[in-house]
Structure formats: structure tokens, C-alpha cells
Amino acid sequence: MRINKFLSRAGYCSRRQADKLLAEGKININGRSPEMGAKVNPGDEVRVQGKLVELQNEKPTYLAFNKPVGVVCTTDRKVEKNNIVDYINYHKRIYPIGRLDKSSQGLILLTDDGEIVNRILRSRNDRGKEYVVRVDRPVTDDFIQKMGAGVPILDTVTKKCEVRKTGSREFHIILTQGLNRQIRRMCAHFDYEVVKLERIRIMNIKLDLPIGKYRELREGELRELQNLLSR
């Protein structure tokens, strides 16, 4: 199999991260620096920055975590204060699927299964990701309509999405794309400032944990998630 797929199956990193490590010359196969797209054969020795990486036979790990404000979604241990991996302190290497910015809280998934990471990040499933957003001034019907119709940010226009008012200064929004700080930028376009942003659902996985706690995905949740990704 290709080296990027090998590293994702081994739970070391995602395919995208593997390609980056390969381009930086940090991967060796049998003591040699491979080219992009190189394959790993049975019996080959793979090392990343000198560390041996092997395929594991144990079941992959899938966690749901209620991220607090202030925790950074990175596996970079150089971010010494409040990186998500050190915060959870799980007994084996896992990494977050996507991001949730430092100022936001709520549901994020973590795993050592690089295959499902790629499938979720590429998914355009209509179930999307749901957020509760609190802003600094009253929410109007005009604001709700315009947020759902598409907002010009980051040299593009956001996809149409479902938005509904849930309080005088609060609304729910379901996104099927993940632009950088998308909701905050969308609100800023209409001169609203986000006071609190919480993700409460990723596809079929719902937030049901206290802040700062995590749990393993249930068998039924994982099965439904994989079914959604296969469509």
C-alpha cells in the first residue's frame, strides 16, 4: 500500500499529514528516503523521524470529546499549553478530525483511524455539523435569512445552509462546509460579534457530555456514521 495510507492505517497521522512528512524528508523505508507515492511492502521497515511505525491489530479508537474554550485542536506538542492531545492524555496516539477554534467549545471527534478521518473531512453529507451561536445583539429575521442564503467571505460565497432563531440573541446553524472560522466571519459580515459558539452535532453524533469529558463512540453510532459516509 502507499506510504500515506500505511501511516494512516497505523494510526500515526492522516494521509495529508503523511504527504507533508514525506515531502519534508522525515520518512524512511528500509533506511532510504522514498519518493512521493512510494509503496510499503510486507516486511518493510518504516520509520518517521527515526521512530519505527508498524500496523497494529487492535481495534481503532473513536472518541467524542466536549472541547472547552481555550483548548487548541492540534497534535503539535510544541503547543505546550492546552493542546487537545495533552489535555485528553489518552493512553495511545489519537488525533482530532478537523478543527474547532480555540475560542469555541463543543463536540469534536478524535481517532487513530486515518481512513475515517479522510472520509469525514471530504464528506458533503447533508447532515453536516450543527452549532448553537450566541451573538452580541438581537437576532433579526433579515439576519437569519441572509445567513442561510450564502455570505461572501474568504473570496468565496458560503453554501446555503439551515439557520433558525432560537432566542433573542441566539440561533442554530447547520454547515456542510468548513471554512476557517466560518461562522464568526459570516456573523462579522453583518456586524454581529459571536459571544459564544458551541458545536452540538457532527453528522449523527450528538453532544451529550460535560465540558472537558470524552467517551468512546457507541457501536450503533459508529455503524450509522459509516453508513452515512458510504452513501
Active site residue 191: no
Catalytic residue among 19, 86, 101, 126: 101
All three cell numbers of 16, joined, read 495529508
Q: Yes or no: say if 127 and 203 are a contact pair by the CB < 8 Å rule.
A: yes
CB 81 within 8 A of CB 175: no
SS3 131: strand
Q: What is the dihedral of CA 193, 198, 200, 203, to 10 degrees?
A: 70
Bridge partner residues of 215 (DSSP): 64
Distance between CA atoms of residues 139 and 152, nearest Å? 19
Cell numbers found for residue 39:
509503496
Rounded Cα–Cα distance for residues 83 and 90 (Å): 13
| Residue 205 · residue 106 · CB < 8 Å | no
Instruction: State the Cα–Cα distance between residues 65 and 131, nearest whole angstrom.
Output: 15
Report, as residue numbers or ranges, the catalytic residues. 101
